[in-house]
Chains A and B, each alone.
Chain A
């Protein structure tokens, strides 16, 4: 059973703060993803990683960076939080390399930036 955990369920931060969101998976999956979910917009891909120290921009990378130093851990960093980054952040993983893969999601982090 795939387990994806996220460091916080709820976070409240102030504008300008640096914010770290962490995702950990226990299934040895190659691929890891960060999405944000906003009402009426569905899930939008921020960044993904297909290997340690590798990263690729998704559809909305502006204002975010990521770090993958270990295979099981993928961090999303908001360098200087802004109110328009208030959202639900979702981490996902997939096996990698096989194509036609299912992604498995963590429980999400609801971030409020004041």
Chain B
């Protein structure tokens, strides 16, 4: 049973425009959320995270929004650049346990020059 869901397998955006990647989760015990970026044949690299006590976290062109009541988070990239083309994974961690991460299935972002 997938506890973290990314319902859009792919997204195409024009360079310079905003990219919005979405993620939904079902487990109310999740209290820490992360986004990872993955290029082909490489391991995922950490992008940005947010704690459940916040509803927004920003780092340069990347902003993550968390809506706890809707169990939904989103990653905004603005402006999008061709180098942002990659697969983006959403991940969530529960309050207790051994710090496992539960991953979504990923969204492939293509930024068109």
Mark A residues whose CB is within 8 Å of B.
4, 9, 31, 33, 35, 40-45, 48, 50, 56, 58, 90-92, 94, 96, 99-108, 110
Contact = CB atoms under 8 A, between A and B. Distances in A.
- Chain A contact residues: helix, strand, loop or mixed: strand
B43 interface: yes
B53 to A, nearest CB: 10
Interface of B: 2, 4, 6, 9, 31-32, 34, 36, 41-46, 49, 51, 89, 91, 93, 95, 98-101, 103-106
Nearest to B98: A50
A94 B99 contact: yes
Contact of B34 (A45, A99, A102, A110): A102
Given A42-B106, A100-B32, A101-B93, A108 B43 contact: yes
Given A31-B98, A108-B43, 13 more contacts: A31-B99, A41-B105, A43-B89, A50-B99, A99-B93, A100-B49, A100-B51, A102-B46, A102-B49, A103-B46, A103-B101, A105-B45, A110-B41
